[in-house]
Homo-oligomer: A and B are copies of this chain.
């Protein structure tokens, strides 16, 4: 395996306000995020040579972008990989730029989850249904409690941290702080996961403009460079594997291993991370799978708020899926949006000090798929 390090730059970013946007169509969201990213780069649609769109099931094919963005005649590809669909748009767009085929491309992710059927899938609402996501992550939480002595108040710390961050974020869906009492007193979804252990059901879109690294100086913003792009697809749903231990997710371990190797770094070098906190327990396991702490230490790290905004390595400064929201196809791109803001020093109240290397992480298909993108603001 080779690498992609410093071949591709992020030079424009855009993101809608996330939320329950019954009054806005998918096309409205695509137009807002896409044009914000192009404006941020200081370019118009005429500079976009090709595009990639990530959506789980809100649209089919490249026409999802061609019609609303009036990008007619150029190549536009739809990618889908469960909750990593947005990150796949960035990843495949980056490969195409690094291949020498295109100089400037758009990667956009979106999902309209509140007012349309999610294709043939049940809507990804926290419903109690054996085999759906809450079930899988509840198994992981119970296993974690048994192995490491954590409990529901450990999980609650993740919700408290991420809501505190999201409360500072004007584009977050659930822009409010939550107390431990509120988290612990919420209705149960799938024991031991309560309502505030689950990310909400959210509409939104996010977009990035990518270009060949050598051209990055032509655009209006300071560039951020892609350092590594890991992706790992394991076997399908863990509940079909009677030997699955629920004590971590191999797909995250492999995807982050690939990305660190490509970037020539270790987990210790990461200054901030946006990780896939679809459930509070997931973030705790992410700490361990990504190498941010030792195995079994994630719960303690949560209790000590070690990854809070004022810590050494803030995790989910945006508010995460928990507070910012999780429109499935949008999330991976939204994470690159946040990491880029942080690496540019434009994150306002949420700004992480001296941020030079950031990580974005998706986990999807009930842990079958993980994607990790490492970004940095210096070209080595």
Q: Which residues of A contact B (CB under 8 A)?
A: 1-4, 7, 49-50, 56, 60-63, 65-67, 71-82, 88, 91-92, 94-103, 117, 119-120, 229-236, 250-251, 254, 258, 262, 364-365, 368-369
Q: Does A78 lie within 8 Å of B80, measured CB to CB?
A: yes
Interchain residue pairs A-B with the least CB separation, the first 3: A75-B231, A98-B99, A62-B233
Contact between chains at B3 and A101 (CB < 8 Å): yes
A227 to chain B, nearest CB (A): 13
On chain B, the residues within 8 Å of A2 by CB distance are 99-103
Q: A313 CA to B49 CA in the complex, in Å?
A: 32
Q: For the complex, what is the distance from the CA of A77 to the CA of B67, rounded to whole Å?
A: 24
28 A/B residue pairs, CB under 8 Å, sorted by A: A1-B49, A2-B100, A2-B101, A4-B99, A7-B99, A56-B60, A60-B80, A61-B233, A61-B364, A62-B231, A63-B233, A63-B368, A67-B235, A73-B232, A73-B233, A73-B250, A73-B251, A75-B230, A75-B233, A77-B91, A77-B231, A78-B79, A78-B81, A79-B92, A92-B92, A95-B98, A95-B99, A101-B229
Query: Which residues on the B side are within 8 Å of A61 (C-beta)?
Result: 80-82, 233, 364-365, 368-369
A130 CA to B214 CA in the complex, in Å? 50
CB of A232 within 8 A of CB of B74, answer: yes
- CB-CB under 8 A from A251, the residues of chain B are 73
The minimal Cβ–Cβ distance linking A224 to chain B, given in whole angstroms, is 18
B residues less than 8 Å from A71 (CB atoms): 233
Q: In this complex, what residue of B is CB-closest to A49? A: B1
A43 CB to closest chain B CB, in angstroms?
Answer: 16
Q: Smallest Cβ distance from A320 to chain B, in angstroms?
A: 22
Chain B residues with Cβ under 8 A from A4's Cβ? 99-101
Given contacts A3-B101, A101-B95, contact A369 B81 (CB under 8 A): no
* A82 to B4 Cα, complex, angstroms: 29
Partner pick for A369 among B63, B94, B234, CB 8 A cutoff: B63
Contacts of A102 in B (CB 8 A): 1-2
A251–B75 CA distance with the chains assembled, in angstroms: 10
Hey, which chain B residues are within 8 Å of A119, CB to CB? 119-120
- CB neighbours of A365 from chain B (8 A): 60-61, 63
CA distance A56 to B120 in the complex (A): 13
Q: Which residue of B lies closest to A229 (CB)?
A: B101
- B-chain residues with CB within 8 Å of residue A231 when the two chains form the complex: 50, 62, 75-77
- Measured between beta carbons, the chain B residues less than 8 angstroms from A229 are 101
> Which of A49, A60, A62, A251 gathers the greatest number of chain B CB atoms within 10 Å?
A62
Interface pair B73/A234, CB less than 8 Å apart: yes
Bound complex: CA A208 to CA B349 (Å): 50
User: In the complex, A95→B232 CA distance in Å?
Assistant: 18
- For residue A96, which residues in chain B have a CB less than 8 angstroms away from its CB? 92, 95, 99
- For residue A94, give the distance in angstroms from its CB to the closest CB of chain B: 8
Contact A63 B236 (CB under 8 A): yes
Residue of B nearest to A78 (CB): B80
Chain B contacts for A230, CB-based, 8 A: 75
Q: Beyond A60-B80, A117-B120: 18 further Cβ-contacts under 8 Å?
A: A1-B49, A7-B100, A50-B231, A61-B368, A61-B369, A62-B231, A66-B233, A66-B234, A66-B368, A72-B234, A73-B254, A75-B231, A77-B91, A77-B92, A78-B81, A92-B96, A94-B99, A101-B229
**A5–B119 alpha-carbon span in the complex (Å):** 38
Considering the complex, give the chain B residue whose CB is closest to the CB of A8. Answer: B99
Indicate if the CB atoms of B101 and A235 lie closer than 8 Å. no
